[in-house]
């Protein structure tokens, strides 16, 4: 990995990783989420930063591994000396956590992390996968997503590269079937002018029909934006999957890169997307065979943890998918803007 990538990671650590390994988002400094901890573990492993990985893992285990199973509580708050105020899990965070442990067990075999990775993965399969209307569905959490006539799913929680890695490393084809069912869900969860994926969907118990979740899943927005990232990362980049996202982001009707689209009326955000979404858009259009230069001009939302993390994860995905860093930033000027954003 080049010095620019390492410098960007160091900038990220200095902004968001506390000395004890807690991920601090300046926008919500009183809360830490399992998602942020898991993403930081993936990034630390990718950048071969064993010291940072150890700190982040120690904090995560001490503060979030409080459930009777191997899943993580999704939210910690600093009030009253620090407490988990909701013990429910977030499945995408657990997938990334298990994947980070599995990857780290290969990079640093002496750390003894493979058993922990397998234990988390087994509980994901045991507690969070349901057969619904002829589909295997990944629940977003252990509690609150199952109803009499439907279950709720979040398409962006299917971290396909992790699922495929589990299938290969654990020699368990059930993970592959889950990933294939997630891909099928994406084919069926397309709405609006650009055939985009909603943030949240419901899956009917009777026949597996997929529909938007009223009042919560009517946008392609800050959750669903990760769908093309995870597809490209896993090389599940068939045109039928990626073209809708690439077409949306390169639509010449846009004066700027939209942060979201309302899938009921095809409206878009009244402001431009930030650097993290732009990085995903660049990767997606490159994977779809188009040029990132076709994207609208940059600009938009201010710096925050979410965009910084998405930008680094997208750089990681670009390298591991074989597209390379140029797929994320098509010119030296864009690379410089990303460095300034993270620094």
Catalytic residues: 35, 92
Distances (CA, A) of 188 to 201, 212, 281: 10, 11, 22
Coil, strand or helix at 3: helix
Closest Cα to residue 31, out of 73, 88, 76? Answer: 76
- Segments in 150-254 forming alpha helices (H): 160-169, 173-188, 226-233, 239-249
Coil, strand or helix at 172: coil
> Whole-angstrom Cα distance, residue 311 to residue 341?
10
Residue 30 phi, psi (nearest 5): -85, 0
List, as one string, the DSSP characters of 207-231. Answer: T--EEE-TTTSSEE-TTTTHHHHHH
Q: At what angle do helices 91-107 and 160-169 cross, to 10 degrees?
A: 50
> Whole-angstrom Cα distance, residue 342 to residue 48?
19
């Amino acid at each position: 990995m080049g010095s620019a990538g390492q410098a960007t990671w160091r900038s990220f650590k200095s902004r968001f990783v506390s000395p004890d390994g807690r991920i601090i988002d300046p926008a919500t400094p009183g809360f830490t989420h399992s998602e942020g901890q898991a993403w930081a573990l993936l990034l630390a492993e990718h950048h071969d930063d064993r010291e940072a990985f150890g700190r982040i893992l120690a904090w995560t285990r001490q503060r979030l591994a409080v459930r009777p199973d191997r899943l993580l509580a999704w939210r910690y708050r600093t009030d009253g000396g620090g407490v988990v105020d909701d013990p429910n899990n977030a499945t995408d965070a657990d997938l990334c956590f298990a994947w980070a442990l599995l990857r780290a067990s290969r990079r640093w075999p002496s750390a003894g992390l493979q058993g922990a990775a397998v234990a988390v993965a087994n509980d994901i399969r045991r507690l969070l996968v349901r057969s619904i209307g002829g589909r295997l569905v990944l629940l977003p959490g252990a509690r609150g997503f199952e109803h009499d006539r439907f279950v709720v799913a979040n398409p962006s929680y299917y971290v396909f590269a992790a699922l495929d890695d589990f299938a290969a490393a654990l020699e368990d084809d059930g993970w592959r079937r889950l990933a294939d069912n997630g891909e099928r869900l994406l084919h069926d969860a397309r709405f609006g002018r650009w055939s985009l994926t909603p943030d949240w969907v419901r899956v009917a118990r009777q026949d597996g029909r997929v529909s938007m979740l009223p009042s919560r899943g009517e946008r392609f927005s800050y959750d669903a934006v990760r769908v093309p990232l995870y597809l490209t990362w896993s090389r599940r980049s068939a045109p039928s999957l990626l073209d809708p996202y690439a077409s949306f982001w390169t639509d010449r009707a846009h004066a700027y890169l939209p942060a979201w689209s309302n899938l009921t009326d095809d409206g878009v955000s009244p402001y431009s997307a930030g650097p993290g979404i732009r990085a995903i858009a660049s990767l997606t259009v490159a994977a779809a065979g188009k040029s990132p230069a076709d994207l609208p001009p940059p600009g938009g939302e201010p710096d925050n943890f979410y965009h910084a993390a998405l930008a680094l994860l997208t750089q990681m995905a670009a390298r591991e998918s074989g597209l390379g860093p140029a797929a994320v930033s098509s010119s030296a000027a864009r690379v410089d803007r990303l460095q300034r954003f993270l620094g």
